[in-house]
Amino acid sequence: MESQPTPLYYQLKMRLLEEIRSGTYGTDGRLPTEHELCERYGLSRTPVTRALSELAHEGVVLRRRRRGTFVNPGWLRRGRAQAPELRLVAPGGAWPDHLREAAGHDATLSITAVELPHVHDVLLRAIAEGNGPDLAVVDSVHLAEFARSGFLMPLDDLDADWIAREHDTDFLPPFAEAYRFGGRTLAVHAHADAAGLWFRRDLLEGSEPPADWRGLRTLARRLTTGRARDFRPLVMSGGPAAAETTTYCLTALLASNGATVLAPDAVTLDGPAAVEAMRFLRRLVDDGALPPEVTGYDKHHAARLLAKGAAGICLGGSYDAEEIAAEAGIGMDEVYERFVFAPMPPGPHGGSGVLSGGMVYCVPRQAKRPGLAMRVLRAAVEPDALIRLCTRTGQLPPRRSALTAIAAASPFHAHTAAMLDHMVVRPSSPVYALVSAQLQAMTEDVITRRRSPAAAVARAADLISAITGLPVAGR
């Protein structure tokens, strides 16, 4: 079973295939030279030569001595004539290559790749215009909204046997259950992540990560002394600029103290556990450990500061591994050697849940080729395909079989996978985007001292009650 990082030549080959299919070079256009590709992607000549040689061997390109490498118009015409087109909406990054690999020769993919925060809006706009894609990759928190609106096709209708035989038996709970609405499965988890704290190993000085909030505060306060003026002991996404990443960090902090936001019949945010969590956040600011400037960070900034050595602790997610590796200029296999990822330590109320999230695959009702979309979906979540994707990105496979295999080969994945034993998920609501905005505002209010922790929590609970129509519990 393959569990090694995807070779560089193959990554380049898939990128060039995507560009050729999308018409970047025209039907008989000239590709960049080997030297230009080396410069553009920071590669040595060996993987570049192999990528072009394989494309030539497969008839995709024509290599003409002293003239260069050109798209083979015959291959392009044959490919378009033989393989039906499948339209997708997905984030950028590793997703296009992963999906093209899953599609193989069964389909020509037309992928609208957008930044993760905009996937929700792009998909909604396409559906509103009657132009919904065949397959979409969206943040799991938006599924309730799409389900209530009737936008999604039950996957049981497309392949009930696969849902019963593989999805319901091999996918981790709560992922196998969380995406059923009215007894129908509307989505399949694409990858999993966990919220927690990143530490620089050298700053832990051989000790274990803090066991509780008191230990975390003590460590953060220790890191405020004897450091460069621009060093930040602890960072996180702390305001609306980071959008959902801020909510992810906040709900992880709440969960570590046993606090929740929503129940099926009430808003549960306004309680002692939540107020206590926000007071802890304020204390970190008052200690000088958490800078108020975090309210202006984008979703990547905190992880990049940690990777560059400008911060010692980062509240984020396992998904930050890829960003940390890129910013630090190291391989994914080196991340665990230089950094520690651990659960958010429990607060006084003893929260034991580890927040987990991730992306899901779904098939809109407007899909023109739903059967083909289901085939690509199945291929994308095959255990070997998940292992290849998650080895590249640091994410976790949502299937037991794939998770066991990748944990055996990767210390980082083994450590992070153990955190999923006590996973909890973000609050589910058809108006989640509006709920999330209130949680982001509450975080910003507390960090900037605009409101007291108790006042910020009460205000957020009231606004979430108005948004959802649910009463505030205990009032």
- State which of 52, 77, 102 marks the end of a domain: 77
Q: Which own/partner pairs from 25-33 qualify as long-range (CB within 8 Å, at least 24 positions apart)?
A: 25/70, 25/71, 26/71, 27/71, 27/73, 27/76, 27/77, 28/70, 28/71, 28/72, 28/73, 29/70, 29/71, 30/68, 30/69, 30/70, 31/61, 31/68, 31/69, 31/70, 31/71, 33/68, 33/69
Q: Residue 183 belongs to what H/E stretch?
A: none
Look at the chain and count its residues: 475
Average pLDDT of the residues in 23-44: 86
Asked if pLDDT for residue 390 goes beyond 60, the answer is yes
**250-279 per-residue burial string, b: 16 or more CB within 10 A, e: under 16:** bbbbbbbbbbbbbeeebbbbbbebbbbbbe
> What dihedral do alpha carbons 249, 444, 138, 394 form, nearest 10°?
-30
Residue 86 has pLDDT above 90, yes or no: yes
The helix (H) or strand (E) run that includes residue 54 is: helix 45-57
pLDDT of residue 2: 36
* 80 band by pLDDT with thresholds 50, 70 and 90: low
Q: For residue 138, give the CATH number of its domain.
A: 3.40.190.10
Tell me, yes or no, whether 117 lies in a domain. Answer: yes
Please report whether residue 14 resides in a domain.
yes
CA atoms of 235 and 232, how far apart (whole Å): 7
The pLDDT value given to residue 233 = 97
- Same domain (yes/no): 345, 235: yes
User: Is residue 150 located within the same domain as residue 96?
Assistant: yes
Are the beta carbons of 99 and 89 closer than 8 angstroms?
A: no
* Most confidently predicted of 199-208, 249-258, 328-337, 452-461: 452-461
d(CA 410, CA 258): 31
Q: Binning pLDDT at 50, 70 and 90, where does residue 351 land?
A: low
Q: Is pLDDT at 180 greater than 70 in this prediction?
A: yes
| 448 lies in the same domain as 312 | yes
User: pLDDT tens digits, residue range 406-462?
Assistant: 999 998 899 888 888 778 888 888 999 999 999 999 999 999 999 999 999 999 999
440 lies in the same domain as 400:
no
pLDDT band at 81 (very low <50, low <70, confident <90, very high): low
The per-residue pLDDT for 3 is 37
Q: Is the pLDDT of residue 6 over 70?
A: no
Number of domains into which the chain is organized: 3
Residues 362 and 352 placed together within one structural domain of the fold: no
Write the CATH number for 14: 1.10.10.10
Provide the percentage of residues in the chain whose pLDDT is more than 90: 70
The tens digit of pLDDT for each residue in 88-117 reads 999 988 899 999 999 987 788 889 998 888
Tell me the per-residue pLDDT of 234-271, one tens digit each, with 9 for 90 and over: 999 999 999 999 999 999 999 999 999 999 899 999 99
Residue 389 belongs to a domain: yes
Q: Are residues 89 and 219 in the same domain?
A: no
Are 462 and 388 contained in the same domain?
A: no
- Residue 474, Ramachandran bin (φ over 0: left; ψ between -120 and 50: alpha; else beta): left
In a domain, 3, yes or no: no
Domain presence at residue 225? yes
pLDDT given for residue 4 in this prediction: 44
CA distance 128 to 150: 12
Band (pLDDT 50/70/90 cuts) for residue 5 is low
Query: What local confidence, expressed as pLDDT, does residue 445 receive?
Result: 98
% the chain with pLDDT above 70:
96
Residue 450 is part of which domain span?
194-356+426-468
Least confident segment among 15-19, 151-155, 190-194: 15-19
pLDDT at 59 over 90: no
Domain boundary among 62, 77, 92: 77
Is the domain of 362 the same as that of 403? Answer: yes
pLDDT computed for residue 24 by the predictor: 78
Mean of pLDDT values over 129-152: 94
Q: What is the pLDDT of residue 420?
A: 81
Same-domain status, 414 and 433: no
Asked if residue 48 and residue 20 are part of one domain, the reply reads: yes
Q: Of 418, 436, 457, at which residue does a domain stop? A: 418
Residues 41 and 15 in one domain: yes
With cut-offs at 50, 70 and 90, classify the pLDDT of residue 209. Answer: very high
State the average pLDDT for the chain. 91
Asked whether residue 103 falls in the same domain as residue 68, the answer is no
Does the residue 473 lie in any domain? Answer: no
In a domain, 2, yes or no: no
